[in-house]
Amino acid sequence: MARKPAHPDTQLFDYLSGALDASAVRELEAHLDACPDCARAAQLLRALKSARHVTVSAVSEHPDTSEIAALFYGKSSRARAQTRAHVATCQSCAEEIAEYARAEAYASEYNPADHASGEVPSASWEMIREWEESSFAKPRASSEAISQDLLAKLFKLIGERPDWLREARRTATEAAAGAASRGVPVIVVDRSGALRSVEMFERMTDASGAGVLRHATKSERFDARPVHALHEADGRQRVVSYRIRLDTIRLEDARAASEMADYFIIEE
């Protein structure tokens, strides 16, 4: 009995892209005439190609750069499924992935000893100086970081959402079960104190031994935003304020580092 030929997957993709020469096209079309599975696959893949314009033209908002970076550098489970789907149809975001791939290839081969040494540009020193002299480079005192009005709104918000917050905490605890780090739900509010969303951070220790909270998907979209750790115990309220650096909240306050604050709030 004649053995059925293997499905020409690679040639099928090239055929649909118009990359096959004439003789290869004839050969493949003969296979399609004889193989209903491949014929159906070709029909559906062609339909997907033609449906591409529908999804591409609908792209109005690209994922944040940090999400594109998380997709490239992070583990697949950490990147959002929507980001993967977006990159599958968006040419400009695919180009951005290509930039990360190219840079990573250079980085993996790079040996400083093989190249001339460089200097810090004077413009960079200027930016460093301005940054170090600004309040962004150091933790802010709680008294100047948050107004009493906003603080009252935040405690009110927490008080009004016990079930909702309990659910976020439960999800965080479950996600962290057996993991080296602990999940911490962080509430995001706008400057008026209105709720926006909940972000998951992971509690861990950094290389210098300091306690930190790091965004679970390494997103840097909250870089430089203020964060307020609200402690509420024995009827007393205490607030410690920080700035997020890239994807990390460094818990400078010893007490905040050693115990779980009740809630962390980010003003957007």
Residue ranges in 80-139 that form contacts with other proteins under rule CB under 8 A: 81-82, 84-85, 87-91, 94-108, 110, 112, 115-129, 131-132
Helix (H) or strand (E) segment spanning residue 185: strand 182-189
What's the CA gap between 47 and 30, in Å, rounded? 20
Q: CB of 100 within 8 A of CB of 108?
A: no
Closest to other proteins by CB, 148 or 208 = 208
194/254 with CB nearer other proteins: 254
Q: What tokens does 219 get?
A: 């997103």
The answer to whether residues 247 and 220 touch, using CB atoms and an 8 Å cutoff, is yes
Between CA 59 and CA 69 the distance in angstroms is 19
Interface stretch with other proteins, choices 41-49, 140-148, 149-157, 260-268 (CB under 8 A)? 41-49
Least distance CB 42 / other proteins (angstroms): 9
Residue placing its CB nearer to other proteins in the complex, 127 or 152: 127
Q: 196 and 161 in contact (C-beta within 8 Å)? A: no
Q: How many residues does the chain have?
A: 268
Residues 191-210 that bind other proteins (CB under 8 A): 206-208
CB of 86 to other proteins, least distance (A): 8
Among 23, 76, 192, 258, binds other proteins (CB under 8 A): 76
Size of the site for other proteins (CB under 8 A): 85
68 belongs to the binding site for other proteins (CB under 8 A): yes
179 binds other proteins (CB under 8 A): no
Strand partners, 214: 202, 248
Q: Check residue 11 for interaction with other proteins (CB under 8 A).
A: no
For residues 205 and 211, give the distance between their C-alpha atoms in angstroms, rounded to a whole number: 5
Decide: is 44 part of the binding site for other proteins (CB under 8 A): yes
Looking at 32, 79, 146, 227, which residue binds other proteins (CB under 8 A)? 79
Q: Closest CB to other proteins among 71 and 186?
A: 71
User: Minimum distance between the CB of residue 124 and other proteins, rounded to whole angstroms?
Assistant: 4
Q: Which stretch binds other proteins (CB under 8 A): 17-25, 158-166, 172-180, 181-189?
A: 17-25
Handedness of CA 189, 192, 193, 194 (dihedral sign): negative
| 237: CB partners within 8 A, 6+ apart | 151, 155, 230, 231
The yes or no reply on residue 251 touching other proteins (CB under 8 A) is: no
Spatial CA neighbour of 72 closest among 85, 61, 84: 84
